Structure 1
Amino acid sequence: MYKVFVNDKPLFLTNEISKETDFQLFLLESIDIKQLIIKIFQNKIQKAFLYHPDEKEIMKTLKSKIPVSKAGGGLVYNKKGEVLFIFRGGKWDLPKGGTEKGEEIEDTAMREVEEETGVGQLRVTKKLQKTYHVFKRNGIYKLKITHWFEMQSDFEGIPVGQIEEGIEKVVWIHPNNISEILKNSYENIKLLFEEEKVSL
């Protein structure tokens, strides 16, 4: 099953029909995806399931219905075990951004971390899950697939937010304070930390 966030609300892509009643179920093959996204953005739908019988075809089918934007991002730890967060648009987030032509996704993630926060001396320690969310740019809805990497940094300077990307603050957060920060973050970002807890 995949979770795609639309306006921070979950759209579940599944090949199983469960007996829950608090969601709307649609057939992925026949759904007008744009109409569904608009309804979610208008708060007419809080949670929806898109059903497709073949799990291998689910993401392929969704990608055929909506343009895809690929991004890379970093969950960065410093020597003290603190995590790098950015504050943008009123919420806490992790540094990420779109790939450039011909760029490997791991390189995208490291470049974006450095551009958005000024933090260098990065090395990837492991690949994390991908997250999915829908955003609107120039009147077009797109599916953003972000490839996340856990990174370590030996950087000891002061992080600086990329102003042209609207980043107001860049801070290192102690693990004990992360749950507080996540209260004002995105569902996709929370998912990454659920995964981190499992691996700690």
Structure 2
Amino acid sequence: MADKNISDLTGIESFTALTFSSCSDNNLKSLDLSSNVNLTDLYSHVNQLSSLNCRSNKLPDLDVNPNSALTFLNCSSNEISSLDISGLVNIEQLFLQQNQLTTVNLPSSGSSLWKLEINENQMTDIDVSLFGNLRDLGVHQNQITSLNLKNGNNSNFASFNSEYNPNLTCIFVDDSGWSNDNWSAYKYAPSTFVTHQLIVGT
């Protein structure tokens, strides 16, 4: 299917046994492979993709950086352990939950991102301080020891959950009082909202 001037892949959902797909060098604007549950290899670079849904497959890795126009990415329920999405400068919604992620390289310019779901992975460190438009964040059921939410806009959050991270003691926020009033029910009970890092011995 590569380099065939294709603009629509409607019908690909019927090929549930598909393990390999190459649809690069086409004119695709969206791609939904969520029904292709046996997919292990996907090549979709050099398109016009703004939406990619490849959830519930068996992908061990994913390279989407060539698709810098993406605003929506759902690669949840795969087998991905490391993900570099630093090139997705226009991304608005990211669904990364239920993988094996230990590392995610987010875009350095985070003005567009408003939804991030990275639940049920193996993440130890998450920093979303660059994302001033973030409204929805799910990081529960990871191995997080460091979580930085100081983005200057915490009061705009509509949804936040960091439960079931037993190694998380401090969560860095804009205003600890506000976070205690609004977010306490959605964090691991012993963890504390703080605004500054305490340096022992000073």
Q: TM class, shorter-chain normalised? A: under 0.3
Please report the TM-score for the alignment, with normalisation by the length of structure 1.
Answer: 0.25
Higher strand content, 1 or 2: 1
Name the larger-Rg structure: 2
Higher helix content, 1 or 2: 1
